[in-house]
Amino acid sequence: MPESRTALVLGGGGLTGIGWEVGMLAGLAEAGADLTDADVVIGTSAGSIVGAQLTSRPHPLNELYARQLVAPDGRAAAARIGPAVLARFAAAALRSRDAVSFGARMGRFALAARTAPEAEHRAAIARTLVVDTWPARHLLVTAVDSATGRRAAFDSASGVALLDAVSASCAVPAVYPPVTVDGKRWVDGGVHSSANADLAAGYDRVVVIAPITAGGGPIAAPRTQAARLAGKGARVYVITPDRASRSAFGRNILDPAKRADAARAGRRQSATHAPHVRALWTT
């Protein structure tokens, strides 16, 4: 029989999503369900940061987890996805026939919005990311072309620097500036899908860790994408925040002060999922 291939999908979810994903991964590994050996890691927005750290492995998972518990350095105030931005997202979704047309609408919105300078956004991502070169292992980082609305999945062969790819993947429209890469302006990969789990097509065993569970209109929810993968023969397990984790996130997923609470919540919640993940990943 051919060897079974594995994919780990890490969805978007702001700073609390980063903390929760790291806590979840650390707890799973501690329980014998270590996902760090996945054949591909697919990262979107927050998940692109965690994915880059995970595949580069500059630190063991426990060290990555410990970093989530450190108090914010205070160099930047918490950003926020305000009601006006959320309303614009919803209106664009209602008007869009598919994820690409929605991406183009959100791209135009992002280009017209007033945000911090692009260099400031890159610097903040660099401080969080720590690593600066593509890992030897297969990592995909998603972003959306603001002009066309089409999604790209950057990797080490794309000719795009890792920091550029991750900065683009984390460029929430109207909150952070679009990121310039080779003359194009890119926005958050979560504009196409909060997890982009469809990129795991062709892999036999897939674990999806998705801080944001919702879809709607032209945007497929992580569980919808997972069901499609399963319909094609993959074994798929989806992890989303439980009530305690959602409470730990608070009302602003971009608040660095909530990252530690989210990390602890993810680690606690991992106990619920570890037996299922271990069975899927090691069978």
Catalytic positions are 45, 188
Q: In this structure, what are the phi and psi dihedrals at residue 43, rounded to the nearest 5 degrees?
A: -115, 135
Task: Report the amino acid identity of residue 92.
Answer: A
Q: Is 186 helix (H, G, I), strand (E, B) or coil?
A: strand
Q: Tell me the two tokens of residue 109.
A: 């919105």
Q: How far apart are CA 208 and CA 191, in angstroms?
A: 18
CB within 8 Å of 112: residues ≥ 6 apart: none
Q: How many CB atoms lie within 10 A of CB 231?
A: 9
Neighbours of 23 (CB within 10 A): 29
Would you say the C-alpha torsion 58, 61, 66, 67 has a positive or negative sign? Answer: positive
Yes or no: say if 31 and 271 are a contact pair by the CB < 8 Å rule: yes
**Beta carbons of 118 and 177 less than 8 angstroms apart:** yes
